[in-house]
Chains A and B, each alone.
Chain A
Amino acid sequence: MKDRVRGRWMAVAAAGVAIAAAAVMVVGTAGAGTKASCGSVTLNEQAWAGSTANTYVAKAALEKYLGCKVNITQIAEIPVYQALANGKTDAVLEDWQHVDQYKQYIDKQKTVVFGGPNGVVGHIGWFIPAYLMKEHPEFKTWKGLKGKETLFKSPESGSQGMFLGGDPSYVQKDQQLIKALGLNFKFVSVGAEPAQVARWSQLYKQHKPVIFYWYTPQYLNQEFQLAEVQLPPRFKGCVDDAKAGGDVKKYRCAYDKTIIEKVFSKKFASSGNPAFAAMKRFSWSNADQETVAKWIAGDHMKPDKAGQKWVSQNAAKVKKWFGK
């Protein structure tokens, strides 16, 4: 008898849950509709803020001007080439010169195509906090570092100074540079970018000396005052990265400006989708990218909102992408 009562109670409870859920639903409902004239486009977003910025700006523009349904994938830098080759992703809007992949997928397999530069020019170099540059104006060029390396001592560098290396996934040649320039630095990698930022920003906040691999455009450059140490453009002992197609005999030292490329899936390029032409014309500046990245990473604006905001504020620029 007790069991039967309990069973009935449970049934009532179950129905109660359903009704309560329905009641919550009335207030919680959010409807969304998309008009589709270009079909759907898939863009790939990388982990860093700059990539989020250009991907979501492109998304907002494609939605506004072509009524596309834009999907976003988040696949790591190298595996994404396979995604492009299979047409699982249509476009990568920020590619930092993955020369090996260009050779394999663009030149040889012809499954991926270049989409032209995205307007942002990347620059890699050795950076120090601005306060340190003020105290030691000689650090303007690498020669000023000579003999003063021990200023950058750290627990793991022993008697040498510490050079803080970049994210292992980024293009870099600092170990080679340190050796070629004969600097008494120990190359220390603290791992992925978030860990590297943690390391130098803690030292920055304590006003301690630190020298590290860094790059522009980067939204953190608006938050921290950094200064660059000039590396020699050519120096005996430096070797070009022969893999990058450089001339080994010319002793090139400082990092080149990096032209940020857009790359597209061959399938997308030959699909006749109007979104392809628009994305091919997509171009903006370092300042634009840093602004949007700051909104997203610094001010925690939702990426979709940030993209829409920039697109509506910069209608003239955006219209050009769509040939208007």
Chain B
Amino acid sequence: MAVAEAAQRIPHPLPAPWWRGKSGAAVLVVVAMLIAFLGWRNQGHWPAALTWNSVGPHLDRFQTWLSDNRNVPDPNLAFRAFNGLANFLDHLVAWSTRFFHWLTWAGTVVLGTLLVLRFGGRRAALGVLAAFASFAALGLWEESVETFSLMLAAVSLSLLVGVPLGVLAGRSSRFNRAVTPVLDAMQIIPAFAYLMPVVILFSVGPGAAVVTTMIYAVPPAIRITALGIRGVHPNTVEAATALGSTRWQVLTKVQLPLARRMLLLSVNQTILFALSMVVIAGLIGGQGLGDSVTNGLYTDPAMAIFAGAAIVIMAISLDRATEAMANRTDPAHRHLTADRSRQLRTYTAACAAAVGLTVVLGHVLNAGADWSRWTAQDWLRQYVQRGLDYVQNPSTFLFRDLTNPTGNFIVQHGIQPLRSFFIETPWPVTLIGLVLIAFLLSGLRPALIALVMLFVVGFVGEWTNAMDTFSQVLVATVLTVIVGFVLGVWAAENRYVSRALRPINDVLQTLPQLVYIIPFIYLMPVSGVPGIVASVLYAAPVMIRLVQRGIEGVSPETVEAATAYGATRLQVLLKVKIPLARDAIMLGVNQAIIMVLAVVVIGGLVGSGALGYEVAQGLQRNAFGLGVVASIAILALGITLDRVTQGRVRARTQA
């Protein structure tokens, strides 16, 4: 049997030309769709009989009911429980803000710096000190402390929830299967859609902001922890069991310590994901830097840029500090003699004393909680404003001859034709065509999922909008894949490029999209383009990282073997490394799609229209139902694209 299978796997000696294979069939499907588009343009709209129009109104009524029952003088037990939870979270954040106030600004700086110095080393401590200095220089000290308190609460609670669930998912594949779609939904459904129910249940304030942040930050904690636990070699677990360890002992003495690196990565990613919610948290009382970004966008773009910079600085310094602390305290690399650990204890005591002394001095000298005397804000503003003035000036060479025509060209020859192709082709043709392509690319199961999901999209009455968004997501994904692939390969081959790209990637992943979109709404003022730029900038870093890791992960022996046979560097890259890194590259494509979908709402705020616009409207114009329906459509598109791009890889890894 095995022999027969192996025989089947031997490739055909002379591969058939591409047009006879699956790609040829896919091209055929596209051609058929094009013929249908040209022949029966605008003649097949999604029929009303197949639409369930009352989803939205039902949801609206539910929301009204929720609010009415929540705001009576004596709400029932369930609502009181939410109240209690909200109060607890509010207090948690308030307590931590008060703690920093009590420390005074000087105490906060010394505590932060010495803590990282003691456990993470000099480099990381300098980074933290520089971060504090820049919050002060930007004139955003108070806001940064507020945001930091919020993040502290949100991140620790996310880990408290996420790590145990992740361990569970790592040990039980059934639980893992059950929880994966929920996590997908939590990451794809835009926060705008559930902001209002969260506000009704938890009211506004830091508590509600923590809850919203957690919905987005818990999934990576669960996923990465589970990955770490599953990554522990089964032989090791078996050996421990054979030696008579209980399940609990296996977990605490073998699996968790061996998954240490992944656990720390999950802490790290949870921090970054949580920080990317700062702006949205600001809309419901999260305070801090999020408010500065939102207000800045309307009245003072320079301020939004400063607040965005503070968020990025906070994210990067936290990222580097946690990484350094994790490396330094790794028991595998630390051999403590009695003498050395005594020294470390003295060192800890000295640091604690220094912090205590600073706090006492801070109070004696009345330092205050907020650094407010000197800031470099006005000085920095001149430069930022000069940049903004340049960008806002339509008579510059950059705008007149470069960005404006490019933007218009993309709209007229890229986005508009593609959009009308997807919207105006009769719906059965589009539906069947997409499902067939899914089948050809990934197989039967993904194709069936695509069929069901696309039907859901039409059923909730979002076919046209979803096709509009789909066309833009397609353009953004193709651009992301091209950019990400090229830069990822380059970074893997050249360490200077790799070193230069890392901070850029970090900035793009943590800077609020609404901030880096500011120049583009002036430079390419045409609807759709800023949204696509935002998606590409947000999604490309992930693609770059995964491609780079995939190519670097190709075993050196294979490369050596190929070189020994006389392959040139280019040949090794094209014929060995890239084909062997295919799974990682496909995962990159898949993640790129998910990230592109995650910024659909941001696109809605800068003119991409369609589903993103509806979700934004859902929150802002009290159309809760509409927002949820549009989010369901986004989720359905996300699941379709995920399964279609991931089908092959999954089939292979499971085999």
Residues of A in contact with B (beta carbons under 8 Å apart) = 3-4, 7, 10-11, 14-15, 17-18, 21-22, 24-32, 45, 47-49, 52, 73-80, 82-83, 85-86, 88-89, 98, 100-101, 104-105, 108-109, 111, 154-156, 158, 168-169, 188-195, 198-199, 201-203, 205-206, 296-297, 300
Q: A7-B343, A49-B298, A191-B607 are in contact. Are A29 and B368 (CB under 8 A)?
A: yes
Expressed in whole angstroms, the minimum distance between the Cβ of B292 and any Cβ of chain A is 9
When the two chains form the complex, which single residue of B106, B302, B343, B416 contacts A3, counting CB atoms closer than 8 Å? B343
Of the listed residues B344, B347, B354, B372, the one surrounded by the most CB atoms of chain A closer than 10 A to its CB is B354
Query: Across the two chains, which residue of chain B brings its CB closest to A100?
Result: B622
The residues of B that contact A74 with a CB separation of less than 8 Å are 282, 285, 287, 291, 294-295
Are A52 and B295 in touch, CB under 8 angstroms?
Answer: yes
The residues of A that contact B98 with a CB separation of less than 8 Å are none
Could you list some 20 contacts between A and B, CB below 8 A?
A: A14-B350, A14-B353, A22-B106, A29-B373, A30-B372, A31-B368, A52-B295, A73-B204, A74-B295, A79-B195, A79-B199, A82-B67, A155-B526, A158-B416, A168-B620, A169-B617, A195-B607, A199-B607, A297-B298, A297-B299
Instruction: Report the 9 A-B pairs with minimum CB-CB distance, sorted nearest first.
Output: A169-B620, A190-B607, A11-B350, A297-B299, A7-B343, A198-B521, A83-B204, A14-B354, A22-B361
Expressed in whole angstroms, the minimum distance between the Cβ of B352 and any Cβ of chain A is 9
Q: Does B327 contact A (CB under 8 A)?
A: no
Expressed in whole angstroms, the minimum distance between the Cβ of A81 and any Cβ of chain B is 9
When the two chains form the complex, which single residue of A18, A104, A158 contacts B64, counting CB atoms closer than 8 Å? A104
When the two chains form the complex, which single residue of A7, A17, A75, A89 contacts B110, counting CB atoms closer than 8 Å? A17
Interface segment, one of B16-24, B257-265, B389-397:
B389-397
The residues of A that contact B199 with a CB separation of less than 8 Å are 79, 82-83
Are B358 and A109 in touch, CB under 8 angstroms?
Answer: no
Expressed in whole angstroms, the minimum distance between the Cβ of A295 and any Cβ of chain B is 11
When the two chains form the complex, which single residue of A4, A88, A168 contacts B621, counting CB atoms closer than 8 Å? A168
The A-contacting residues of B in range 62-96, CB under 8 angstroms, are 64, 67-68, 71-72
The residues of B that contact A205 with a CB separation of less than 8 Å are 392-395
Q: Does B203 contact A (CB under 8 A)?
A: yes
Complex formed: what's the CA distance from A54 to B357 in Å? 44
Query: Across the two chains, which residue of chain B brings its CB closest to A205?
Result: B394
Are A79 and B408 in touch, CB under 8 angstroms?
Answer: no
Q: Does B114 contact A (CB under 8 A)?
A: yes
Q: Does B340 contact A (CB under 8 A)?
A: yes
Query: Across the two chains, which residue of chain A brings its CB closest to B104?
Result: A25
Q: A29-B368, A169-B616, A194-B521 are in contact. Are A156 and B606 (CB under 8 A)?
A: no
Are A78 and B203 in touch, CB under 8 angstroms?
Answer: no
Q: A11-B351, A18-B354 are in contact. List 9 more A-B contacts (CB 8 A).
A: A17-B114, A22-B361, A29-B366, A155-B407, A156-B411, A168-B617, A191-B608, A192-B616, A198-B392
Are B284 and A76 in touch, CB under 8 angstroms?
Answer: yes
Complex formed: what's the CA distance from A261 to B355 in Å? 51
The A-contacting residues of B in range 295-333, CB under 8 angstroms, are 295, 297-302
Complex formed: what's the CA distance from A76 to B300 in Å? 18
Are B617 and A88 in touch, CB under 8 angstroms?
Answer: no
The residues of A that contact B300 with a CB separation of less than 8 Å are 297, 300
When the two chains form the complex, which single residue of B294, B392, B617 contacts A202, counting CB atoms closer than 8 Å? B392
When the two chains form the complex, which single residue of B68, B109, B530 contacts A109, counting CB atoms closer than 8 Å? B68
Complex formed: what's the CA distance from A28 to B366 in Å? 10
Binding site secondary structure of chain A: helix
Complex formed: what's the CA distance from A192 to B361 in Å? 48
Of the listed residues A82, A100, A105, A205, the one surrounded by the most CB atoms of chain B closer than 10 A to its CB is A82
Are A191 and B196 in touch, CB under 8 angstroms?
Answer: no
When the two chains form the complex, which single residue of B366, B416, B527, B606 contacts A31, counting CB atoms closer than 8 Å? B366
Q: A28-B371, A73-B204, A201-B392 are in contact. Are A191 and B354 (CB under 8 A)?
A: no
Complex formed: what's the CA distance from A169 to B298 in Å? 13
Are B526 and A206 in touch, CB under 8 angstroms?
Answer: no
The residues of B that contact A45 with a CB separation of less than 8 Å are 295
Q: A74-B282, A192-B606 are in contact. Are A49 and B299 (CB under 8 A)?
A: yes
Q: Does B374 contact A (CB under 8 A)?
A: yes
When the two chains form the complex, which single residue of A32, A109, A206, A300 contacts B67, counting CB atoms closer than 8 Å? A109
Q: A74-B291, A296-B299 are in contact. Are A24 and B106 (CB under 8 A)?
A: yes
Please, what's the 1-or-0 string for B390-414, where 1 marks a CB less than 8 Å from any CB in chain A? 0011110001000000011001100
The residues of A that contact B68 with a CB separation of less than 8 Å are 104, 108-109
Complex formed: what's the CA distance from A25 to B354 in Å? 15
The residues of A that contact B166 with a CB separation of less than 8 Å are none
Q: Does B102 contact A (CB under 8 A)?
A: no
Residues of B in contact with A (beta carbons under 8 Å apart) = 64, 67-68, 71-72, 104-106, 109-110, 113-114, 117, 195-196, 199-200, 203-205, 282-285, 287, 291, 294-295, 297-302, 339-340, 343-344, 346-347, 350-351, 353-355, 357-358, 361-362, 365-368, 370-374, 381, 392-395, 399, 407-408, 411-412, 416, 518, 521-522, 525-528, 530, 604-609, 613, 616-617, 619-622
Expressed in whole angstroms, the minimum distance between the Cβ of B350 and any Cβ of chain A is 4
Q: A111-B71, A190-B527 are in contact. Are A21 and B64 (CB under 8 A)?
A: no
Complex formed: what's the CA distance from A187 to B299 in Å? 26
Expressed in whole angstroms, the minimum distance between the Cβ of B345 and any Cβ of chain A is 10
When the two chains form the complex, which single residue of A4, A22, A86 contacts B343, counting CB atoms closer than 8 Å? A4
Complex formed: what's the CA distance from A105 to B365 in Å? 49
Are A22 and B358 in touch, CB under 8 angstroms?
Answer: yes
The residues of A that contact B367 with a CB separation of less than 8 Å are 25, 28-29
Complex formed: what's the CA distance from A172 to B291 in Å? 26
Query: Across the two chains, which residue of chain B brings its CB closest to A32?
Result: B368
Expressed in whole angstroms, the minimum distance between the Cβ of A124 and any Cβ of chain B is 15
Are B373 and A80 in touch, CB under 8 angstroms?
Answer: no
Q: A156-B528, A297-B299 are in contact. Are A109 and B394 (CB under 8 A)?
A: no
When the two chains form the complex, which single residue of A30, A79, A155, A202 contacts B522, counting CB atoms closer than 8 Å? A202
Are B613 and A78 in touch, CB under 8 angstroms?
Answer: no
Are B412 and A155 in touch, CB under 8 angstroms?
Answer: yes
Of the listed residues B195, B411, B518, B606, the one surrounded by the most CB atoms of chain A closer than 10 A to its CB is B606
Are A168 and B527 in touch, CB under 8 angstroms?
Answer: no
Are A21 and B110 in touch, CB under 8 angstroms?
Answer: yes
Are B200 and A82 in touch, CB under 8 angstroms?
Answer: yes
Complex formed: what's the CA distance from A190 to B285 in Å? 27
The residues of B that contact A78 with a CB separation of less than 8 Å are 196, 619-622
Complex formed: what's the CA distance from A202 to B528 in Å? 17
Complex formed: what's the CA distance from A192 to B527 in Å? 12
Expressed in whole angstroms, the minimum distance between the Cβ of B346 and any Cβ of chain A is 6
Complex formed: what's the CA distance from A4 to B605 in Å? 59
Complex formed: what's the CA distance from A24 to B519 in Å? 37
Q: A86-B203, A202-B522 are in contact. Are A191 and B613 (CB under 8 A)?
A: yes
Are B368 and A191 in touch, CB under 8 angstroms?
Answer: no
Complex formed: what's the CA distance from A247 to B358 in Å? 69
Complex formed: what's the CA distance from A193 to B301 in Å? 12
Expressed in whole angstroms, the minimum distance between the Cβ of B563 and any Cβ of chain A is 44
When the two chains form the complex, which single residue of A11, A85, A101, A194 contacts B71, counting CB atoms closer than 8 Å? A85
